[in-house]
Amino acid sequence: MTAQRVLITAGAGGIGRAIAQAYVAAGARVHIADVDIEALGRVMAELDGVTGTAGDISKAADVVRVIADVKERLGGLDVLVNNAGISGPTAPVEDFPADAWASVISVNLNGTFNVTQQAIPLLKESAAGSIVVMSSLAGRFGYPNRAAYSTTKWGLVGLTKTLALELGQYGITANSIHPGAVDGPRFRDVIAGRAELSGRPVDEELEDALALQSVKRLVDPADIAALVLFLTGPHGRSISGQIFPIDGDSKAAA
Residues marked active site are found at 149
For residues 167 and 152, give the distance between their C-alpha atoms in angstroms, rounded to a whole number: 22
C-alpha closest to that of 223 among 191, 253, 185, 178: 178
Ramachandran class of 184: left when φ > 0, alpha when ψ lies in -120 to 50, beta otherwise:
left
List residues bridging with 8 in a β-sheet: 32, 81
Strand order of the β-sheet with 29-34 is 51-54, 29-34, 5-9, 79-82, 130-134, 173-179, 243-246
Residues 106, 155: contact at Cβ < 8 Å? Answer: no
For residues 88 and 102, give the distance between their C-alpha atoms in angstroms, rounded to a whole number: 10
Residues 50, 44: contact at Cβ < 8 Å? Answer: yes
- Per residue in 211-221, is it b (16+ CB within 10 Å) or e — as a string? ebbeeeebbeb
Phi first, then psi, for residue 84 (nearest 5°) are -70, 140
For residues 107 and 85, give the distance between their C-alpha atoms in angstroms, rounded to a whole number: 6
